[in-house]
Amino acid sequence: MQTPLRKDQETPLRGMRTNIVQSIRAFRVQDLQAAAASLGHHFLYANLAHAQSKQDVLDLIAAQFTFPSHFGKNFDALYDCMTDPLHKSGPQPGFIVVLEQIPATGKFDKEAREQLLDIFRDAADFWADRKIPFRCFYSFL
Rounded to an integer, what distance in angstroms lies between the CA atom of residue 52 and that of residue 100?
14
pTM of structure: 0.89
Q: How many CB atoms lie within 10 A of CB 95?
A: 23
Q: Is 70 exposed, middle or buried (0-12, 13-18, 19+ CB in 10 A)?
A: exposed
pLDDT of res. 120:
98
Domain 17-140: which topology?
Answer: Barnase; Chain D (3.30.370)
The pLDDT tens digits of the residues spanning 71-116 come to: 888 999 999 999 987 767 878 999 999 999 999 999 999 999 999 9
Query: Contact at 8 Å (CB) between 44 and 93?
Result: no
Three-state SS for 75-136 is: HHHHHHHHCHHHHHCCCCCCEEEEEEEECCECCECHHHHHHHHHHHHHHHHHHHHCCCCEEE
Instruction: For the chain, give every domain's residue range.
Output: 17-140
Position 76, amino acid = D
